[in-house]
Structure 1
Amino acid sequence: MLQSIRDNSQSIVAKIIVGLIIVTFALFGVESLVSLTAGSDAPATVNGEEITQQEFYQATELQRRQLLSQMGENADPTLLDENLIQNMVLDSLIEQKTLLLAAQDQGLLISDRMIDQMIVSTPDFQLDGKFSAEQFEAVLRNVGLTPLMYRDLMRKERLIQQTKNAIEFSAFSTSGAVEQLVALDRQTRSFSYFPLSLEQAKQSVNVTDAEVAARYEEQKDSLLTDEQVVIEYILLDKLALRDTISVSEDDLRAQYDQLLASFKAEEQRPVAHILVEINGDVDEAAALAKANDLKAQLDAGVDFAELAKAESDDIGSAASGGDLGVNGKGVFVSEFEDAMFALDAGAISEPVKTEFGYHVIKVGELSEKTPPTFAEAKFDLTDEATDNKVEALYVEKLEQLADVSFSSGDLIEPSEVLDIAIETAAPFSRNGGDNAVTENKRVIDAAFSAELIQDGVNSAPIELDSDRTVVIRVKEHQPPRPQALEEVAQLLKETLQTEKAAAVLKEQADAAVAALQEGSDINTVAAGRAVSNEENVSRTASEIDPALLQQVFAMAKPVAGKATTGTAELSDGSLAVVSLTGVTVPTAEISADEQRFIEGFLQSRVGQQEYQGAVEVLKDAAVVEKL
């Protein structure tokens, strides 16, 4: 159950955040986002409509969760850049607000009924194929959302999607574009090539000590060691605190009483309904008359599920016999909910009016949840009580750590007060060290701060993750210093060797290309090197070096039977001398299915380009004020 909730919450996060709140993040990519506090005061207005602090906080927190999810199970929150995320979130909210205002100007609306249908039919909110209010609430709770927040996000997402669809679906592709794409995609090329090895060229060149010394003199001002620090630290760890905790029988009994109370509070009911909608074709009186007739048929023995399939106007539940799953309070509108909880098991209501129309409601057999006995629950209760005590103790010791380390000139007193040993890390640079403390970005930033280096004070508590906090002190600071020639001689020699070898290869390649252009045979020009002959190679050939393949398809077509020649730098730094001998474009016709697929692909690409263009026009026209 819990794993199901976790899995579904991840998919919901992806749908909500990537598809809605952070709409424009696809333009930036997550690779560039390498701590987040939502306290920054950064609301804005778009055409006079306010983006509130709450919206900004919620969007920032949701984006943070999504990024950490993408980074994997052991993601380090300190790798997230606070300012970058907040700026991008605000820009994204501005774009979202612009699109929502455009949707409103077009008169687009999303009804409550449509939102209800989307929620009930969402697989992530279902158990055994049926909507579950418990699953719905648990999934949302796991990503920090309430049902009302989720409904609001869904409404915004659908409005933006309608605007996007209206633009993208108006795009079209021409037959000429299809033919051109097919020709490019199916084109093959034939070529011959031979490599000029960089490693072999390195063996043929000589770098003297004088050349190394000369390069050192040219670059010695930049040949510095990395700035390094040695830090001491004390680490407050929840896991270590757990070993100091004991749980009494009274603690467990109190925990068990809370468990029993929660079972009484969480009443869930299986419910189904038949909806008679009030709309332009059916007024209230007619809808009520039909609902009364349906109730009479049910009283006469007609099967509820069959009648719902035939008569219900709720397309989201009619096919399943009106079944809405097992639900608690807070899921449906108040009139529906009041009637549902007033019914006995198996009873059918009189017609109930809501904003959607008239409902005939049936409550299924109530299955009472039986709480576990104290003995059955004792193991889990012990775990939970221990967790609670550890959390309280951790908070208490965290306050102690902050107070004592602030008032102390070193880590000795904090170590004694909290009974935590002082540890010393190996020297590390601004790139970080080799353990969980020194590789943490916040620790690195603090360790190289002027306050810790120059003033010699203890750092403020630094949270490594939700279970560990550290206070550090700089024990030793090693500023950058010029490196002696002997320290960098080997590096400089290797650099010079590579440069000389590359120059040799360039000279050899130019000579080989010139010989080919004059009509020499490639096997002769290769001078004993292995020549590879490739026939009808496609753009996606995996067996060819990607850099070589890219160059081959960038070369001009052979003219009048004369090969096109050139060079390509391979992935290992070697050069290849290339002779392009032929370009083939298949003339076979494509099938109707392929035609439709390619047209759809081109239409989608054009539509996306037009949508992005429309977004830019709307943003340029909007009056945006960042406060």
Structure 2
Amino acid sequence: MQEFRRFIRGPVGKLLLAAIVIPFVAVPFLDYFSGSSSADTVAEVEGNSITRGAVNQRVERVRDMLRQQSPNMNPAMLDSFVRPEMVLDGLVNEQLILSAAENAGMVYSISQLNPMIQSQPLFQEDGKFSNDRFERELRARGMTPQSYLRGLRQDLIKEQYRSGFMATDFALPAELEEQRRLGEQVRDIRYAQLDLNELRNSFTVTDEEVRSFYNDNQDEFMRPEEFRIAYVELATADYADKVTVSDEDVAAEYQVRKSIMEDSTANTARHVSHILIEVGGDRDLNAAKQRATEAASAIAAGMSFADAAAEYSDDPGSANSGGDLGVVSKGALPEEMETAIASLEPNVVSEPVVSDAGVHLIKVTDVAEKRDMPPLEQMAGQIRADLKQARAEAMLADDVAALEELLYEHGDLQTPAEEVNAQVQTTDWVPLSSLPAPLANPQVQQALSTDEVRRDGHNSELIEVNPGQYLAVRIAEEKPAEPLPLEEVTFVIRERLKGDMAADKVQSLFAEAEAKIAEGADLEALADLFDTEVEEQDGLQRGGAEPSMEVVNGVFALPRPAEGESSAVAMIRTGNGSLVAYQLTRVEDGNVEALSAAQQMAALGELSNVEGQRNFRQVLAMLREEGDVELFPSRLSPNADDAQ
């Protein structure tokens, strides 16, 4: 790997790298569809694998979004809230939607993606698309052009599928009126509440009871293991001040780039359209050639190339857009097509061309003008920045290679750190579940949990936590788990015991109240049992939270009583353990006065949207039920490889 880095930084390596990169300058998107992962498969969905790496990447992306929205969120809470199992479930749904969309023949061609990407301000400089900016922005997000374009096309196809259900639902005026009548309905109630928190305060717990519970449940009151973590960090940014770039370096690099551009065939790109006749099934090569000849004859007789593509082409990505493949350059298409394109004059249709894909009719619609290299003064700043970045990355690569070996050769971090002019830093006492920055990373947490680091006290491997950022860690000191002092947990134990007493009392009163309701007791009798007063609340609305969400939901589930009468007494236990007995006394339907035309149109649109979402949830449930899905949740564990 080190020899490869040195080779790439040499003059021959630069020319080879430029030969690979330059085709993307003329057509930035055509060859970006590739990529794979070697991580373990955690799910198989319709023949497609979802890897542990993909799940972990999505988990970190979601957690990063939440960190930006709530910087003060407890990391442990964030880890428990965004779990790999939850993310895997979402990825399975996305793959099912994608597979269903592709099976339905939904596609997005490269020519459709190009203008969308080129119009994004994020990828523009001076109001124009910049390929350098495009690749730079993706690298900053840990993405490759391949993965970005593949993901964008898949997202658009999935959204097309969703819209087919969600954007095609509709609602009728009668449905709207019924929704308004029920949705805006209000109800009045009478209720008696036994508040668990108030009941808890009526109990007392002695010091002896607290001490006895503490002794009997020692395992519940332990301070977790804590560690002081030593670490060494290498990052590209740390080398910026160590790099110098002279004016002569900039001028030499400019000449190299200019020479590559002038010599490269990528500097003359052509706008190409084609008609593809596939070979397969009942159609052999001769039949494909015959159909291509029919298409050519139709064009010669006056049919436009675009109409012929729509009628004859088997390429779903370009047939409905006139056969347009966009601007292409050498290396972007099969060799047979490129040979034909090189000899074609603009707006002339080729003879049938045979490739592995089938038989093509090709037309060059435009030849891009040869681009001139901007003057050195205009490019000097960018070239200088590129050279500084490249040299900083090269210095980092040298130190990374050296540190990787030193970590194995030495039993401490200090010596390896000194060899690469880095510093060993040490954290305060922390549990492994709540590491501080820059150690708050699943890979670091996993490394600290291995037997080699945790039990044997070795250095970890060098971990790439972000592009251009590496960490090596070891456990400097360890503090075992120990019981918390009784005085620190006395209040918690006392409140817990009081809560248990109150809960037992509530359970007893609940059974007694149920028996009284069965005997026909009224609300006043239950209020006496609860030692409380009957209260009233008017104007309850659906989704309200007073006196409690459970009571509101229960009230709106009751049938409408006769005018002037009340419903039978009902009882519910709320989420916090309290008891509420209640009865419905009045129902008032929502406003059903006529809306204006504009209001009705907006309301019907919103109702249609709600129905569309509900409809799509049902579609997704059907895909989950009928789809070919196999899950391997045990492989989500960071230590899954060790267990296998």
TM-score band w.r.t. shorter chain: 0.5 to 0.7
TM-superposed CA distance for 1:558, in Å, is: 6.7
Distance 1:216 1:294, change over 3 A: same
2:351, 2:361 within 8 Å by CA — same for their partners in 1? yes
1:268, 1:327 within 8 Å by CA — same for their partners in 2? no
Residue 128 of structure 2 corresponds to residue 120 of structure 1: no
Q: 1:340-379 to 2 correspondence within 5 Å?
A: 340-343=341-344, 347-354=346-353, 355=358, 358-363=361-366, 366-379=368-381
- In structure 2, distance between residues paired with 1:184 and 1:545: 23
TM-superposed CA distance for 1:409, in Å, is: 2.7
Amino acid across the alignment from 2:438: A
2:299, 2:305 within 8 Å by CA — same for their partners in 1? no
Distance 1:521 1:41, change over 3 A: closer
* 354-363 vs 555-564, greater mean Cα deviation: 555-564
TM-superposed CA distance for 1:212, in Å, is: 0.6
Distance 1:357 1:429, change over 3 A: closer
* 235-244 vs 546-555, greater mean Cα deviation: 546-555
2:55, 2:88 within 8 Å by CA — same for their partners in 1? no
Aligned residues: 545
Tell me which residue corresponds to 2:535.
531
- In structure 2, distance between residues paired with 1:471 and 1:332: 45
Distance 1:125 1:328, change over 3 A: farther
Distance 1:608 1:499, change over 3 A: same
SS of the residue corresponding to residue 222 of structure 2 reads: coil
TM-superposed CA distance for 1:216, in Å, is: 1.2
Q: 1:224 aligns with which of 217, 222, 225?
A: 222
Amino acid across the alignment from 2:379: A
SS of the residue corresponding to residue 204 of structure 1 reads: coil
1:292, 1:351 within 8 Å by CA — same for their partners in 2? no
Tell me which residue corresponds to 1:463.
464
Distance 1:269 1:68, change over 3 A: farther
Distance 1:532 1:241, change over 3 A: farther
- In structure 1, distance between residues paired with 2:438 and 2:534: 50
TM-superposed CA distance for 1:606, in Å, is: 5.7
Tell me which residue corresponds to 2:487.
486
Distance 1:221 1:56, change over 3 A: closer
Distance 1:313 1:565, change over 3 A: closer
Amino acid across the alignment from 2:433: N
- In structure 2, distance between residues paired with 1:290 and 1:37: 47
TM-score by length of 2: 0.63
TM-score by length of 1: 0.64
TM-superposed CA distance for 1:547, in Å, is: 3.8
SS of the residue corresponding to residue 243 of structure 1 reads: helix
Deviations along 1:567-597, one digit per CA (max 9) or x if unpaired, are: 23146x6554433457899999x99979998
- In structure 2, distance between residues paired with 1:372 and 1:385: 18
Amino acid across the alignment from 1:240: D
SS of the residue corresponding to residue 233 of structure 1 reads: strand
2:522, 2:569 within 8 Å by CA — same for their partners in 1? no
2:551, 2:580 within 8 Å by CA — same for their partners in 1? yes
Q: 1:68-107 to 2 correspondence within 5 Å?
A: 68-72=60-64
TM-superposed CA distance for 1:377, in Å, is: 1.5
- In structure 2, distance between residues paired with 1:599 and 1:505: 41
Q: 1:4-19 to 2 correspondence within 5 Å?
A: none
Gap runs ≥5 in structure 2? 1-23, 69-74, 121-127, 170-174, 279-286, 595-599, 632-643
TM-superposed CA distance for 1:341, in Å, is: 4.1
Q: 1:294-309 to 2 correspondence within 5 Å?
A: 294=302
Distance 1:88 1:290, change over 3 A: same
1:402, 1:461 within 8 Å by CA — same for their partners in 2? yes
1:563, 1:581 within 8 Å by CA — same for their partners in 2? no
Distance 1:188 1:197, change over 3 A: same
Deviations along 1:222-281, one digit per CA (max 9) or x if unpaired, are: 43221122222222232222222222344323432343245343336463759698999x
Gap runs ≥5 in structure 1? 22-35, 173-177, 296-306, 621-626
- In structure 2, distance between residues paired with 1:619 and 1:456: 39
Tell me which residue corresponds to 1:566.
571
Distance 1:582 1:484, change over 3 A: same
1:343, 1:363 within 8 Å by CA — same for their partners in 2? no
Tell me which residue corresponds to 1:518.
521
SS of the residue corresponding to residue 313 of structure 1 reads: helix
1:452, 1:474 within 8 Å by CA — same for their partners in 2? yes
Q: 1:158-169 to 2 correspondence within 5 Å?
A: none
Q: 1:403-482 to 2 correspondence within 5 Å?
A: 403-437=405-439, 439-482=440-483
SS of the residue corresponding to residue 399 of structure 1 reads: helix
2:349, 2:361 within 8 Å by CA — same for their partners in 1? no
* 458-467 vs 502-511, greater mean Cα deviation: 502-511
- In structure 1, distance between residues paired with 2:380 and 2:425: 38
Tell me which residue corresponds to 2:298.
290
Deviations along 1:538-566, one digit per CA (max 9) or x if unpaired, are: 3x457774444444456688799542411
- In structure 2, distance between residues paired with 1:37 and 1:284: 40
Distance 1:262 1:604, change over 3 A: same
Tell me which residue corresponds to 1:28.
none
Residue 237 of structure 2 corresponds to residue 239 of structure 1: yes
- In structure 1, distance between residues paired with 2:609 and 2:404: 63
TM-superposed CA distance for 1:427, in Å, is: 1.0
1:548, 1:569 within 8 Å by CA — same for their partners in 2? yes
Tell me which residue corresponds to 2:398.
396
1:308, 1:318 within 8 Å by CA — same for their partners in 2? no
Distance 1:456 1:581, change over 3 A: same
Amino acid across the alignment from 2:187: S
Tell me which residue corresponds to 2:496.
495
1:555, 1:564 within 8 Å by CA — same for their partners in 2? no
Deviations along 1:189-236, one digit per CA (max 9) or x if unpaired, are: 735245544443344332221221121122124432211222222222
2:227, 2:477 within 8 Å by CA — same for their partners in 1? yes
Amino acid across the alignment from 1:578: Y
Q: Between the two proteins, what is the percent identity of the paired residues?
A: 17
TM-superposed CA distance for 1:448, in Å, is: 4.6
- In structure 2, distance between residues paired with 1:243 and 1:274: 52
- In structure 1, distance between residues paired with 2:331 and 2:482: 66
2:196, 2:578 within 8 Å by CA — same for their partners in 1? yes
TM-superposed CA distance for 1:429, in Å, is: 1.6
Residue 582 of structure 2 corresponds to residue 578 of structure 1: yes
Distance 1:377 1:203, change over 3 A: same
- In structure 1, distance between residues paired with 2:407 and 2:427: 18
1:227, 1:480 within 8 Å by CA — same for their partners in 2? yes
2:119, 2:129 within 8 Å by CA — same for their partners in 1? no
TM-superposed CA distance for 1:426, in Å, is: 0.8
Deviations along 1:387-415, one digit per CA (max 9) or x if unpaired, are: 11121211211222222232223233223
Aligned CA RMSD, in angstroms, stands at: 6.3
- In structure 2, distance between residues paired with 1:480 and 1:372: 65
Amino acid across the alignment from 2:267: E
Amino acid across the alignment from 1:290: A
Deviations along 1:475-499, one digit per CA (max 9) or x if unpaired, are: 2221122334233222212222333
- In structure 2, distance between residues paired with 1:490 and 1:233: 39
Q: 1:201 aligns with which of 199, 203, 228?
A: 199
Amino acid across the alignment from 1:231: I
Amino acid across the alignment from 1:224: M
2:236, 2:393 within 8 Å by CA — same for their partners in 1? yes
Q: 1:608-623 to 2 correspondence within 5 Å?
A: 608-615=620-627
- In structure 1, distance between residues paired with 2:500 and 2:427: 39
TM-superposed CA distance for 1:612, in Å, is: 3.8
TM-superposed CA distance for 1:42, in Å, is: 10
Tell me which residue corresponds to 1:214.
212
Distance 1:615 1:391, change over 3 A: same
SS of the residue corresponding to residue 453 of structure 2 reads: helix
Distance 1:319 1:390, change over 3 A: same
- In structure 1, distance between residues paired with 2:43 and 2:222: 44
Distance 1:67 1:416, change over 3 A: closer
* 494-503 vs 329-338, greater mean Cα deviation: 329-338
SS of the residue corresponding to residue 533 of structure 1 reads: strand
